[in-house]
Structure 1
Amino acid sequence: MNARLNLIADPTAAKAFKHFMAAGKTVKDSPLPASTQELVALRVSQINGCAFCIDMHTKDAAAAGESSVRLNLVVAWREATVFTDAERAALALAEEGTRVADAGEGVSDEVWELASKHYDEEQLAALVILVSFMNAVNRLNIINQQPAGDYEVGQFH
């Protein structure tokens, strides 16, 4: 299985990819907790079916000390007791921000209010950017048919 394009070798793709990675680094360096960032990135990728990003964020989160129990339960976070209220708020925002076409209204006021209770404005901005960023990267990888399984921790950081 091979990707349709080499996003690092193609001049146009490489230039855009460089900017994508800079945006990702901005979020990574934000005050949004790193564990929350990985859980959100993983959940958005699960919803979108981006195998490459699921592989990457599962491995990066595990390397950063995230438990396999929590990683395995992200897909069913509503029924799991292993997430904090703040993480639940972030995951709810991530889901509604990813499924905008399904909801018809985008992120509900209820979900936004809940996230606002747990995160300050700078963290909320990072969360919104992260959800948007992950949706864009997921689509890039899905269209490109980027194969999963070979990602090495820290490869793109």
Structure 2
Amino acid sequence: MDARLNYFADPTAGRALKHLMSAGRTLKESALPAATQELVALRVSQINGCAVCIDMHTKEAAAAGETAVRLNLVAAWREANVFTEAERAALELAEQGTRVADAAGGVSDEVWERAAAHYDEEQLTALVLLVCFMNLATRMNVIARQQGGDYEVGQFH
């Protein structure tokens, strides 16, 4: 399967991507724990079937010290005992935020309250923005059939 588009070759897309990548770097600097950010990014990528982002976030998380066990269990986090309650709340919010069309009303009050019990307003804002950012990135890549497997740690920093 070949990629349908080369976003970096198009001047308009290139300018937009420059701003998107800047937004992504800003989120990385937020108060939301780095490990949580990578787990959430990976889970959204898995849900949306984005090989590029799965490749990137798995490699970035591993380079930052995340264990293979935790990375391998993100897709089945509900049945895994290796995540903190805060991480579980973030993953649950990420799933409902990614699948907003599946449930009337989007993210439920219960899911929001579980996340709010572990994260302050600044962290919750970063979490919501990260979920939205990852949905944008994954959908761009899936629509254009971008290929995963070649990402090198730090490539987009």
2:48 equivalent in structure 1:
48
1:6 deviates by 1.6
Runs of 4+ in 1 over 2 A off after TM superposition: none
- Which digits, 9 at most, give the CA deviation of each residue in 1:55-80, with x for residues without a partner? 11000000000000000000000010
Alpha-carbon separation, structure 2, partners of 1:133 and 1:3: 21
Which runs of 5 or more structure 1 residues have no equivalent in the other structure?
none
- Which digits, 9 at most, give the CA deviation of each residue in 1:85-133, with x for residues without a partner? 0000000000000000111221000000010010000000000000000
Structure 2 counterparts to residues 72-151 of structure 1, below 5 A = 72-151=72-151
Alpha-carbon separation, structure 2, partners of 1:153 and 1:104: 38
3-state SS of 1:142 partner: helix
1:21 equivalent in structure 2:
21
1:2 deviates by 3.3
Alpha-carbon separation, structure 1, partners of 2:21 and 2:64: 19
Give the partner amino acid of 1:140.
Answer: M
1:67 equivalent in structure 2:
67
TM-score (norm 2): 0.98
How many residue pairs align between the two structures? 157
Give the partner amino acid of 1:19.
Answer: H
Same amino acid, percent of matched pairs: 75
Alpha-carbon separation, structure 2, partners of 1:129 and 1:26: 11
Alpha-carbon separation, structure 2, partners of 1:8 and 1:154: 17
Aligned CA RMSD, in angstroms, stands at 0.8
Alpha-carbon separation, structure 2, partners of 1:53 and 1:15: 20
TM-score (norm 1): 0.98
